[in-house]
Homo-oligomer: A and B are copies of this chain.
Amino acid sequence: MLISESALRTFTESVFTAIGCSPEHSRLAADVLLKSDLRGIDSHGVARLNGYVRLWENKRININPDIRIVHQTATTATVDGDAGLGLIVAPMAMRVAIEKATQYGSGWVAVRNSNHFGIAGYHALMAVEKDMIGFAMTNASPLVSPIYSSERLLGTNPMCYAFPAGKYPPVVVDMATSAAANGKLEIAQRLGKQVPEGWIQDKQGNSTTDPHALKSGGALLPLGSDAEHGGHKGFGLGATVDILSAVLSGANYGPWVPPFVAFLDPPTDPVGLGIGHFVGAMRVDGFRPVDEFKSHLDNWIERFRSSATVDPSQKVIIPGEPEMDADADRRAGGIPLVDAVVKDLNVLAERFGINPLD
């Protein structure tokens, strides 16, 4: 089913309003989810709306949070999200980072007591709009094993770096630090297919190609997959995200991170508050004039895009380019939703007395 951006936006805002969010918060939360759907990252958009509602039902989300700075210097801060929606908390933290950067050149905010924040790219791109370089990362429910381990100790812990270009869309590196995302496993499960070696291991920690192994106590592998192919580097990146997001902010880290899914209870021995994020902004003109930077980044993009390729039909992909293409297509032609998601959303519509999607 294809649905227009504006119809899906109105629908999503209505759901957030129905569970008690203020009009401003409903607009912001819907904007974060819509950005994901527009950019073609279907796993992080309205497909998760029901998940947020379930967390609210389980009293794991505070709909009227008092989001506040609990510690700061001129260019650093820790924000407590008061168990609010990450979709609200993270953009507010990014605003603090941008204000500090405006005044002092850079700004860095660690966030505790938050929740799933949608796509990292949304937050990093807030900085890009101000001719700043944006950074965003978050820890997440433990699904990934360190190299040699048979336990799930890290989330897919995404990191995002976003840079403003001139003629071209921003360069946006927005990536999980695992070899493969959970969404790819779900596709293989639906199709009854095996997955490649190097994505997952079973409960005992042995490599497997069974996409159901994750559900049976297995784990995702870090980027690099195994020790021979640099899996310790993927583990190091996931660890970096965990430490910056949670050890620095006072959130839960490692296996203590509360699960996103409402049917699993958070650990009973927390080491911090909620989940953690880390966001930052640096003014480009803190380093060189903005027009110089942008014209060199354009040149960088052109050189990489025009690279000789193995298969001439397959060009080098500039990070962020496929998402920007999806954004243009979907703004014009509508956002495709699979039947399961439409059904899920229409259950919410009925429950909250909202016009269903059709």
State A148–B311 Cα separation when bound (angstroms).
Answer: 7
In the complex, the answer to whether B288 meets A78 with C-beta atoms within 8 Å is yes
List B contacts of A309 (CB < 8 A): 148-150, 205
Chain B, Cβ-Cβ closest to A198: B229
List B contacts of A234 (CB < 8 A): 223-224
**Stretch from A35-43, A50-58, A248-256 that touches the partner:** A248-256
List B contacts of A255 (CB < 8 A): 303
State A232–B176 Cα separation when bound (angstroms).
Answer: 11
CB distance from A77 to the nearest CB of B (A): 7
**Given contacts A148-B317, A310-B149, A314-B148, A229 and B179 within 8 Å (CB-CB):** yes
In the complex, the answer to whether A287 meets B104 with C-beta atoms within 8 Å is no
In the complex, the answer to whether B148 meets A247 with C-beta atoms within 8 Å is no
Copies of this chain present in the complex amount to 2
**Given contacts A223-B234, A234-B223, A239-B173, A73 and B286 within 8 Å (CB-CB):** yes
Which residues of chain A (275-295) have a CB below 8 Å from chain B? 282-284, 286-288, 292-293
Q: Mark A62-78, 1 if CB is under 8 A from B, else 0.
A: 00000000011111111
Q: Is A299 an interface residue (CB 8 A)?
A: yes
CB distance from A188 to the nearest CB of B (A): 12
CB distance from A224 to the nearest CB of B (A): 6
In the complex, the answer to whether A254 meets B161 with C-beta atoms within 8 Å is no
**8 more CB-based (< 8 A) A-B contacts, given A75-B75, A110-B287, A236-B319:** A74-B103, A76-B286, A104-B104, A110-B288, A179-B224, A206-B310, A247-B296, A247-B297
Residues of A that sit less than 8 Å from B by CB: 71-78, 103-106, 108, 110, 133, 146-151, 153, 161, 163, 171, 173, 175-180, 196, 198-199, 201, 204-206, 223-225, 228-230, 232-237, 239-240, 242-244, 247-250, 253-255, 271-272, 282-284, 286-288, 292-293, 296-297, 299-300, 303-304, 307-311, 314-317, 319
